[in-house]
Amino acid sequence: MADFEFLYPLWFLALLPMAYLLRKRKKQAIVSSLIAPHLLQQLQQGRQTQRSFARKLLAICWLLAVIALAGPSWEKNSIPGFQLAGARVLVMDMSHSMYTSDVQPNRLSQAKFKALDLLPGWVDGSTGLVAYSRDGYLISPLTEDSKTLAALIPALSPDIMPFQGVTLQRGLKRQLL
């Protein structure tokens, strides 16, 4: 029981409106002055039990809902996040200049071969993939699964880019977002 905690304790502020509704309301002086007290008591007796039951039922449901939303927990699990210490992003140029054949077979094929050669060596940490032409595009967010990246890299081509151009800064900017 020592490890019991609420993950979202601010939800208990939602009990304030219910406390306001449940407080005892004073009888209005105007109504009591117009109707005889013994008749007023008879008129309100049936209504008060119905209202009292409805208010109690609403209060119990409200309380249970707020407790559920507050997130009771008997153990604390760490929330997974990105471990940026071993993170790297592979940024690849997808402009039409990659079709140039100054290296055989062309720059695009060489870049793909090089990326596929690098992936098995990156065992620790996570890797992301960004392709850029006129703008940067996230192909894969940071992942520890290099097989996913290895499956995506062969499909990269300048033909899939919506806009042509060469702007490395936008590719790098996309990487940092």
Residues 90 and 51 in one domain: no
Average pLDDT over residues 9-29: 73
Residues 89 and 171 in one domain: yes
141 Cβ contact list (under 8 Å, min separation 6): 128
3-class SS shares of the chain: helix, strand, coil, % to 5? 55, 15, 30
SS3 139: strand
pLDDT, tens only, 63-117: 999 999 998 888 766 655 545 567 888 888 888 888 888 888 899 999 999 999 9
Residue 27 pLDDT level (bands cut at 50, 70, 90): very low
Residues 68 and 126 in one domain: no
User: Which domain covers residue 118, as residue numbers?
Assistant: 84-176
Residues 94 and 167 in one domain: yes
DSSP codes, 73-111: ESS-PPPP---GGG-EEEEEE-SGGGG--SSSS-HHHHH
Name the least confident of 32-36, 99-103, 120-124: 32-36
Q: Which DSSP state fits 129?
A: E
Strands 72-73 and 136-143, by their bridges, are unpaired
Q: What percent of the chain is modeled with pLDDT above 70?
A: 77
Name the least confident of 1-15, 64-78, 121-135, 159-173: 159-173
Residues 118 and 158 in one domain: yes
Average pLDDT over residues 112-134: 87
Residues 115 and 169 in one domain: yes
Lookup: tokens for 31: 């109504």
Lookup: tokens for 1: 């029981």
Residue 152 pLDDT level (bands cut at 50, 70, 90): very high
78 within domain boundaries: no
Residue 26 pLDDT level (bands cut at 50, 70, 90): very low
Q: Which DSSP state fits 26?
A: P
Residues 102 and 44 in one domain: no
Check if the beta carbon of residue 128 is closer than 8 Å to that of residue 87. yes
pTM of the predicted model, to two decimals? 0.49
